[in-house]
Amino acid sequence: MTSAQTRGLLIGLALGVVWAWLGFGAMVLTGVLALVGWLIGTAVNSLSAGNINLADLWSDLQGRRSQS
Model pLDDT for residues 35-53, shown as the tens digit of each residue: 888 877 777 777 777 777 7
The reported pLDDT for the residue numbered 68 is: 54
Say what the pLDDT of residue 23 is.
92
Residues 5-36 pLDDT 10s: 777 778 888 888 988 999 999 888 888 888 88
Burial class (CB in 10 A: 0-12, 13-18, 19+), 11: middle
Q: Is the pLDDT of residue 66 over 70?
A: no
pTM over 0.75: no
Domain boundaries, the chain: 4-62
What gap in Å lies between CA 43 and CA 37, rounded to an integer? 10
